[in-house]
Amino acid sequence: MPAEPLLEVSGLTVSFRTEDGLVEAVRGISFAIAPGEIMGLVGESGSGKSQTLLALMGLITSPNAVLSGSVRFRGQELVGLGRRALDRIRGRDMAMIFQDPMTALTPVHTVGAQIVEQIRAHERISPRAARARAVELISAVGIPAPADVAGRYPHQLSGGMRQRAVIAMALSCNPALLIADEPTTALDVTVQAQILELIGRLRDEFGSAVILVTHDLGVVAEIADTVRVMYAGKVVEEGSKRDLFTAPQHPYAWGLFASIPPLEGARPARLSAIPGTPPRLSALPAGCAFRPRCAHAHAACAAMPALTGEGGHRAACVLSPARRAELLAAGEARS
């Protein structure tokens, strides 16, 4: 891994003032991303993935949100940066793709006009040149008849086309960091594959780093380099894709893998699921948040374990590596 990270997050905490007191959605997460790295961020709904992304982009505007920790992009601190300074970075150096392509485009302007708007917000360029660039971008994301599509309104495009238009918009300034919040969740499988391929190509051609949030492990397996698993606002396991998929260390990750139906062999009568539901963020158990649902919980779990491990593959679990290997061999993480 190159020494200089593109994005360095340390101790990022996002909490919200609510009637139940301060509720922490993201509880002090730290990670770094190198240029050109594709990081998959997985976890259940409500595990703090989306809030993490929004915090990275400075998009948490709720007056009840409290942000702490540090987000350094190319060495520049983003937390607490003013709107103007942020606007110069957002869209040009880092861009975000939103989950729902149905709502991420303004309904009253054509797709082309919105991309032109985005380009001209960051570059001094004539409308004509911007228009040509927009058509080029639409074509680059694999939409046929790009000039025609540029003149259409969002409601005239299919979900897949819209998502690609959103991606074209995010790519318009060749951002060094692309943040994608479940970019394929709303799409069908064939379009999903095309979008993933597109994101992979972006990395190859422009050297962009990508943070890909998803709850689909298949998507992660397809394109991610590194994976981080989030649970209840914390990273519970991190490592390379190979490490995670061949030898997951955290019982929560085991649960995740076990809940994928097997491709070969006998079909299980019931798909295994992690028992229980994710804890309410306002009433987190002390220590490891996964403890109430964990089959291997014991007294030591009452204190939150730190991320430990070797060679960049780290997990936050009190089980000893030997015990984990034992359990893994015994068929955990398999349904």
Footprint on this chain of another protein (rule: CB under 8 A): 57, 59, 61, 63, 83-84, 86-92, 95-96, 98-100, 103-110, 117-118, 121-122, 144-145, 148-149, 151-153, 156, 166, 169-170
By beta-carbon proximity to another protein, the closer residue of 135 and 166 is 166
Shortest distance (Å) from residue 112 CB to another protein: 11
Tell the residue number behind the tokens 């991303």, with chain if given.
33
Rounded-to-integer distance, Cα 216 and Cα 226, Å: 15
Shortest distance (Å) from residue 160 CB to another protein: 14
Shortest distance (Å) from residue 32 CB to another protein: 21
By beta-carbon proximity to another protein, the closer residue of 47 and 172 is 172
Rounded-to-integer distance, Cα 307 and Cα 239, Å: 11
Shortest distance (Å) from residue 284 CB to another protein: 27
Which whole-number Å values give the CA distances from 38 to 176, 177, 221, in the listed order? 12, 10, 11
Tell the residue number behind the tokens 């005239």, with chain if given.
156
Shortest distance (Å) from residue 228 CB to another protein: 21
Structure tokens at 82: 């003013």
Tell the residue number behind the tokens 């609510």, with chain if given.
18
Shortest distance (Å) from residue 302 CB to another protein: 39
Which residues, 6 or more positions from 245, have their beta carbon under 8 angstroms from its beta carbon?
Answer: 221, 257
Structure tokens at 53: 């992304």
Cα angle: 240, vertex 70, 278; to 5 degrees: 60
By beta-carbon proximity to another protein, the closer residue of 113 and 333 is 113
DSSP H/E element including 210:
strand 209-214
Sheet with 21-33, strands from edge to edge, namely: 21-33, 7-18, 65-73, 76-77
Shortest distance (Å) from residue 101 CB to another protein: 9
By beta-carbon proximity to another protein, the closer residue of 61 and 320 is 61
Shortest distance (Å) from residue 258 CB to another protein: 33
By beta-carbon proximity to another protein, the closer residue of 4 and 123 is 123
DSSP 136-199: HHHHHTT-SSHHHHHTS-GGGS-HHHHHHHHHHHHHTT--SEEEEESTTTTS-HHHHHHHHHHH
By beta-carbon proximity to another protein, the closer residue of 90 and 234 is 90
Q: Among 142, 112, 137, which residue's Cα sits nearest to residue 127?
A: 112
By beta-carbon proximity to another protein, the closer residue of 179 and 256 is 179
Which residues, 6 or more positions from 204, have their beta carbon under 8 angstroms from its beta carbon?
Answer: none
By beta-carbon proximity to another protein, the closer residue of 87 and 272 is 87
